[in-house]
Chain A
Amino acid sequence: NAGVTQTPKFRVLKTGQSMTLLCAQDMNHEYMYWYRQDPGMGLRLIHYSVGEGTTAKGEVPDGYNVSRLKKQNFLLGLESAAPSQTSVYFCASSYWPVRAYEQYFGPGTRLTVT
Chain B
Amino acid sequence: SQQGEEDPQALSIQEGENATMNCSYKTSINNLQWYRQNSGRGLVHLILIRSNEREKHSGRLRVTLDTSKKSSSLLITASRAADTASYFCAGGTSYGKLTFGQGTILTVHP
Contacts and interface: CB of A to CB of B under 8 A. Distances in A.
Interface of A: 4, 31, 33, 35, 40-45, 48, 50, 56, 58-59, 90, 92, 94, 96, 100-108
Given A59-B1, A101-B31, A102-B33, A45 B45 contact: no
B48 A102 contact: yes
Interface in B25-77: 30-31, 33, 35, 40-45, 48
A interface SS class: strand
Nearest to A107: B42
A73 to B, nearest CB: 17
A103 B103 CA distance: 17
Interface residues of B toward A: which range? 20 to 34
Interface of B: 1-3, 30-31, 33, 35, 40-45, 48, 88, 90, 92, 95-103
A59 B98 CA distance: 10
Contacts of A107: 41-42
